[in-house]
Amino acid sequence: MPICEVDAPLWVAEDVYDQVSVETEVQSEDEEEEIKEFRDFVEHVDPEEFEKWTD
């Protein structure tokens, strides 16, 4: 299923949000930084870099 990302606000009635929302653990700043670094790596990795590991 394709995913389309747009820069648009999402409006949800508070009672609907309360019914369907799921609480998650709060991440520490270190975890957030680690996730940011990983996302940056994934977004900019060159697949050819992995060729050296396939031999």
Residue 35 has pLDDT above 60, yes or no: yes
Contact 47, 55 (CB under 8 A): no
Look at residue 51 in the predicted model and tell me its pLDDT.
78
- Residues 36-54 have pLDDT tens digits of 999 998 888 888 887 776 6
User: Would the pTM count as exceeding 0.75?
Assistant: no
Contact 27, 35 (CB under 8 A): yes
- Residues 2-15 have pLDDT tens digits of 566 777 888 889 99
Measured distance CA(25)–CA(8) in Å, rounded:
26
Measured distance CA(27)–CA(4) in Å, rounded:
26
Cα Dmax for the chain: 56
DSSP letter at 23 equals: -
